[in-house]
């Protein structure tokens, strides 16, 4: 699987009259970053936001799979109507 390239970070020139750019947030030069999230410093806000976005997307995909599986079974016969399960179930479904 090829690694995604992350090149939409805010960039700034390293110095006037040079072709080099760096991340405006963590100041690592683009030739070191090479489009990798791991190329930014661990505390870089761009990196943290992207990693959070990716983790959120993975969680969403897992939730969709879990709810798809749950909907294949008649769980209403085993989970009481007044169970908090249904509250959380609806909350998750409404956010997908
Ligand atoms: Zn950065």
Please indicate, yes or no, whether the overall pTM of this predicted structure exceeds 0.85.
Answer: no
For residue 5, give both structure tokens. 């390239």
pLDDT of residue 3: 67
pLDDT of residue 25: 98
Rounded mean pLDDT of 42-64? 96
| Chain mean pLDDT for the chain | 92
User: Which residues on neighbouring strands pair with residue 13, listed in sequence order?
Assistant: 21
- With H, G, I as helix, E, B as strand and everything else as coil, classify residue 12: strand
Task: Report whether pLDDT(30) > 50.
Answer: yes
Between CA 35 and CA 64 the distance in angstroms is 30
Ligand 1 centroid to Cα of residue 14, in Å, is 13
Ligand 1 centroid to Cα of residue 3, in Å, is 18
Ligand 1 centroid to Cα of residue 18, in Å, is 19
Backbone angles phi, psi at 49, to 5 degrees: -65, -45
């Amino acid at each position: 699987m090829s690694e995604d390239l992350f090149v939409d970070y805010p960039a700034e020139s390293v110095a006037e009259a040079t072709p080099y750019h760096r991340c405006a947030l963590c100041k690592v030069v683009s030739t070191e970053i090479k489009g990798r999230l791991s190329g930014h410093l661990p505390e870089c806000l761009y990196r943290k936001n992207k990693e959070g976005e990716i983790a959120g997307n993975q969680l969403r995909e897992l939730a969709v799979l879990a709810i798809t599986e749950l909907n294949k079974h008649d769980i209403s016969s085993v989970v009481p109507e007044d169970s908090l399960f249904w509250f959380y179930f609806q909350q998750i479904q409404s956010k997908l």
